[in-house]
C-alpha cells in the first residue's frame, strides 16, 4: 500500500514537471493578450442583420487578412451580431484595423480623362444643378470641371460614370473621370506583391478560369488606354493596358510603396467581405502599458503566493510543505497546459486570466485547509495521525468536491453567458479549480499518508506533523487513546 502511494506522488510530479519541461523544450510559453503586451481591439457590427453563415464567412475572411498581416495569435470571434477582433502585439494598429475592415469592392473601370482636384465654386457663379462627372471639350468646360464634387459612396454604383480620387494622396491631388465598371474582383484568383527589375513595387495577379477571357476583353477594348483599379471608391492604380491578351495573369504597377503594394495584394487575395461593417468601439493599448500590467499582475501573484506559503508553514509545519509542493506541481502543470493551448488553440492569457489564476490560489489552499482541519478533528478525537489520514481525507474530500463544484458551476456560467475579459477570468478559474480536485486525490492524499507513516515528519521538533495538527509528538504517531479522553473515574 505504501508503495502505491509513493507511485501516485511520483507519477503526479512526473506529469506536472514533464509538461513544464516539454513546453520549454518546444519553445512554447503562454501567449499574452493585448492588455499584457499591447495591441488593438475593435468591435465591428454589420450594417444589416445577417445569418450565422454570413457572419462566419466574414470572420474567416478577416482572419485570413489578419494572418496575412503576420499578427501572432489574434483573437477573432462573434458575440451576437458583433465581430470582436483582438490584435495583440500589433505595431501599427490604426492601419491594420483600417485594412481588415474594408469591404474591398474591387472594380475595373475605364479612365475617360483626368480631372483636377475639387474646388468649391465661387459665390458669384450660380449653378442651377450640381455638375455631373464629365470630360470637357472646351476651355470653359475645363474650368467648370473643378467644381464637380467627388462621387459619393451612395452614388458610386457600377453602372454610373463617376469621378473618384487617387489613393494615398491629399485632397488637392488630381482625380479621374471613370466609365461604368467592366468587371469586379471576382475575376481574380490570387495576388501578391513584388518588385520589378528596377526595384519598383508592384502587385502580381492571376485570373480565374472564367475571369481570364473577361479581362482579355477589357484589355482589347482599352488597348493603349488606362484602366483604373478602383478599391472601395478610391483609384489604387490606373495602369495603361499594354497588351490585348494576358494569358490569365498580369501586374498592377504604379507609384506603390512596399506597404501599399502589400496591403493591396492582401485585400485582393482574400476577397471582399460579404457584408459591410461598421466600427463600434476601438481600444489600443501601448506596449509599455501592457508590460506594466503584466509586471503588476506577476508581482501580485508572487506576493500572494509567498504570504500563503509562510502562513501555512508556520501554522501547519510539515503539512505546509505539502501545500508548497502541491501548489508548485499544479503551477507547473498549469503552465504546460496554458502554453500548449496558446500555440495550438489560440488561447491567450490576459489580465483577467491572471486575476482568475490569483483567485484560484485561494481556492486551492482552501482545499488543503479543509483537509488539515479535518485531520485535526480526527486526532483530537483520540486517533493517531496514521489512522486519521484516510478517514479524514474521505470526509474532507466530499467538502472539497462540493466547494470546487460551486466554483466550477460559477466559472462555467460566466464563460458561457459573458463576453470579453470576463470569459478569460472564468476559463482560468475553472481550469485551476478542476486541477485542484485532481491534485487533491492523486497528490495531496497519498503524500500526507506517507508523511503520517514516517516518524521523522510526525515527531520532528519544529516541523513535525503532530505539532502542525496541535498534538504532542509522542501521541500523534501511536494508536493509544490520550489520557485526557478517558471517562471520569476510570481506573488505569
All domains of the chain in start order, with CATH: 2-32+286-479 (1.20.1640.10), 39-102+277-285 (3.30.70.3400), 106-270 (3.30.1360.200)
Tens of pLDDT along the chain (492 residues) come to 678 888 888 999 999 999 999 999 998 988 887 777 778 888 888 888 888 877 887 887 788 777 767 776 677 888 888 888 888 877 777 777 777 776 666 789 999 999 988 888 887 776 667 778 889 888 888 888 888 888 887 788 899 999 998 876 555 567 999 999 998 888 888 888 999 888 888 889 899 999 999 999 999 999 999 999 887 788 877 888 988 888 888 888 777 888 878 877 876 776 667 777 888 888 777 766 667 777 887 787 788 778 888 887 787 777 778 888 888 899 899 999 999 988 887 788 888 888 888 888 888 888 888 888 887 777 777 676 666 777 778 788 888 888 889 889 989 998 888 766 788 889 999 999 999 889 888 888 888 878 777 666 666 566 655 555 555 444 443 443 333 334 444 443
**Per-residue pLDDT, 128:** 63
Dist CA 256 CA 317 (whole Å)? 71
Q: Are 106 and 229 in contact (CB under 8 A)?
A: yes
Task: Name residue 292's beta-bridge partners.
Answer: none
**Per-residue pLDDT, 419:** 67
- With 0-12 CB in 10 A as exposed, 13-18 as middle and 19+ as buried, what is 276? middle
Q: Are 107 and 183 in contact (CB under 8 A)?
A: yes
Phi, psi (5° rounding) for residue 296? Answer: -65, -40
Dist CA 367 CA 379 (whole Å)? 19
**Per-residue pLDDT, 111:** 95
Of 16, 46, 84, 27, nearest in space to 424 by CA:
84
- Residue 284: Cβ within 10 Å count: 16
Dist CA 160 CA 343 (whole Å)? 49
**Per-residue pLDDT, 120:** 83
Write the CB contacts of 129 (distance below 8 Å, at least 6 apart in sequence). none
pTM here?
A: 0.58
**Per-residue pLDDT, 482:** 38
CA geometry: angle 106, 111, 113, nearest 5 deg? 145
Amino acid at each position: 500500500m505504501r508503495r502505491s502511494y509513493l507511485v501516485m506522488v511520483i507519477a503526479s510530479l512526473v506529469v506536472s514537471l514533464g509538461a513544464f519541461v516539454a513546453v520549454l523544450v518546444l519553445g512554447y510559453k503562454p501567449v499574452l493578450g493585448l492588455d499584457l503586451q499591447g495591441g488593438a481591439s475593435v468591435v465591428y457590427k454589420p450594417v444589416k442583420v445577417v445569418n450565422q453563415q454570413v457572419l462566419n464567412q466574414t470572420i474567416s475572411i478577416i482572419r485570413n487578412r489578419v494572418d496575412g498581416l503576420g499578427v501572432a495569435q489574434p483573437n477573432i470571434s462573434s458575440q451576437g451580431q458583433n465581430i470582436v477582433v483582438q490584435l495583440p502585439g500589433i505595431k501599427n494598429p490604426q492601419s491594420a484595423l483600417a485594412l481588415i475592415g474594408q469591404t474591398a469592392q474591387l472594380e475595373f473601370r475605364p479612365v475617360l480623362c483626368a480631372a483636377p482636384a475639387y474646388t468649391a465654386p465661387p459665390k458669384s457663379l450660380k449653378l442651377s444643378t450640381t455638375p455631373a462627372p464629365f470630360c470637357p471639350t472646351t476651355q470653359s468646360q475645363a474650368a467648370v470641371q473643378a467644381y464637380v464634387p467627388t462621387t459619393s459612396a451612395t452614388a458610386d454604383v457600377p453602372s454610373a460614370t463617376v469621378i473618384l480620387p487617387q489613393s494615398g494622396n491629399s485632397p488637392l491631388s488630381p482625380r479621374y473621370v471613370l466609365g461604368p465598371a467592366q468587371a469586379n474582383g471576382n475575376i481574380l484568383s490570387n495576388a501578391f506583391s513584388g518588385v520589378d527589375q528596377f526595384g519598383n513595387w508592384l502587385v502580381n495577379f492571376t485570373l480565374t478560369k472564367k475571369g481570364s477571357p473577361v479581362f482579355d476583353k477589357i484589355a482589347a477594348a482599352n488597348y493603349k488606354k488606362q484602366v483604373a483599379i478602383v478599391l472601395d471608391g478610391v483609384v489604387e492604380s490606373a495602369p495603361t493596358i499594354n497588351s490585348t491578351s494576358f494569358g490569365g495573369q498580369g501586374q498592377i504597377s504604379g507609384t506603390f510603396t512596399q506597404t501599399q503594394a502589400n496591403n493591396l495584394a492582401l485585400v485582393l487575395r482574400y476577397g471582399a467581405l460579404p457584408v459591410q461593417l461598421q466600427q463600434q468601439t476601438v481600444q489600443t493599448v501601448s506596449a509599455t502599458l501592457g508590460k506594466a500590467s503584466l509586471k503588476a499582475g506577476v508581482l501580485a501573484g508572487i506576493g500572494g503566493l509567498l504570504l500563503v506559503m509562510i502562513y501555512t508553514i508556520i501554522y501547519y509545519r510539515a503539512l505546509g510543505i505539502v501545500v508548497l509542493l502541491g501548489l508548485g506541481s499544479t503551477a507547473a502543470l498549469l503552465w504546460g497546459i496554458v502554453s500548449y493551448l496558446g500555440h495550438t488553440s489560440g488561447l491567450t492569457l490576459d489580465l483577467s486570466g491572471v486575476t482568475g489564476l490569483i483567485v484560484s490560489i485561494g481556492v486551492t489552499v482552501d482545499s488543503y485547509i479543509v483537509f488539515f482541519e479535518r485531520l485535526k478533528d480526527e486526532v483530537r478525537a483520540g486517533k493517531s495521525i496514521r489512522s486519521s489520514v484516510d478517514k479524514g481525507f474521505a470526509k474532507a474530500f466530499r467538502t472539497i468536491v462540493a466547494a470546487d463544484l460551486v466554483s466550477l458551476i460559477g466559472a462555467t456560467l460566466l464563460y458561457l453567458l459573458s463576453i470579453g475579459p470576463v470569459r478569460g477570468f472564468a476559463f482560468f478559474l475553472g481550469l485551476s479549480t478542476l486541477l485542484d480536485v485532481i491534485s487533491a486525490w492523486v497528490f495531496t492524499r497519498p503524500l500526507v499518508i506517507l508523511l503520517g507513516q514516517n516518524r521523522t515528519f510526525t515527531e520532528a521538533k519544529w516541523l513535525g506533523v503532530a505539532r502542525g495538527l496541535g498534538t504532542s509528538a509522542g501521541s500523534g504517531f501511536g494508536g493509544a487513546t490520550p489520557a485526557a479522553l478517558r471517562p471520569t473515574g476510570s481506573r488505569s
